[in-house]
Amino acid sequence: MNTTPLTVASPDGTARGGVIVIQEAFGVTDHIVDVCNRVAAAGWVAVAPHLFHRQDGVTVLDYSDMDSAMAAIGKLKADEVDSDVDAAASALAELGFEPSSIAIVGFCMGGSVAFQTAVRRPLGAAATFYGGGITKGRFGYPAMASVGDALQTPWHGFFGDLDEGIPFQEVETLREITATAPVDTEITRYAHGKHGFHCDDRPAVFDADAAADAWGKTLEWFDAHVAR
C-alpha cells in the first residue's frame, strides 16, 4: 500500500479530468496549493503528491533556505518519485479517470518529474515549468535530452531565458529532440523569465506577464489533449 500524502483540490460540479501537480524544490508550498486551487477552479481535480514524505522533518521549506532545499532534493530517488506520482494517478483512477483523462504539471524540479512521467507513461497531457536536467539527469532519471524522442504524452515546456540554471541553448536542443517524439510537443520561452517566474510568492523572480501567459497556455494544452 502506498502511503504518499496527497493534497487534493476538487472543482464545483462535474470534473473534466484530473491533474497531477508536482511540487517545487521547496515542497508542497502555499504556491503549489494555490496552483491546485487554480486547477480546480478551471474544472479539474488536482492531486499533489508530497515527494519529501520519506525525509524526517522535511515538509515545506522557506524560499530563502536553498541549502535545505538542495539537500532534500538530493535525497530523492527516481523510482520513489515515480511511485509517488503513480499514487496520485491511482487516486484519480479511483475517481473514475482513465490515464487519457489525466494531465500532469510540474514546477522547478517538479517540471523535470512531469517530463520524465510523460516519457514513462501515456497520459492525456503534460506541462513543465522550468524543469532542469536537460543534459544531465537528476534523481537517477536519464537526461531529458536523451529520452525526449520517447515522450508518450503530449508535452509543453515553459522556460525563461534568464534562468541561470537552464541555458536557453539547452532548451532549444530539447525543442529539436522532442519534436521527433510521436506525440505533440511545444516549448515556449520568455525573454525576461527567470527560474521560478510563475511563483508569485517569490517577488525577486515572479514575472506576472510570463506567468499569466504560461498558465493560460497550460490550460489550453490540457483542453486540447486530455480526453473527456
**Which candidate in 82, 84, 163, 207 is catalytic?**
163
Q: Dihedrals φ, ψ of 226, to 5°?
A: -80, 130
Separation of alpha carbons 174 and 146, rounded Å: 9
Residue 195 a catalytic site member: yes
What is the DSSP code (8-state) at residue 202?
-
Residue 192 a catalytic site member: no
Is residue 207 within 8 A of residue 194, CB to CB? The reply is: yes
**pLDDT tens digits, residue range 2-30?**
689 999 999 999 999 999 999 999 999 99
**Which candidate in 108, 156, 198, 225 is catalytic?**
108
Burial zone of 12 (CB within 10 Å; 0-12 exposed, 13-18 middle, 19+ buried):
exposed
Residue 108 a catalytic site member: yes
**pLDDT tens digits, residue range 23-61?**
999 999 999 999 999 999 999 999 999 999 999 989 999
Separation of alpha carbons 2 and 51, rounded Å: 12
**Which candidate in 195, 198, 199, 225 is catalytic?**
195
Task: Write down the residue that cell numbers 510523460 correspond to.
Answer: 118
Separation of alpha carbons 4 and 2, rounded Å: 6
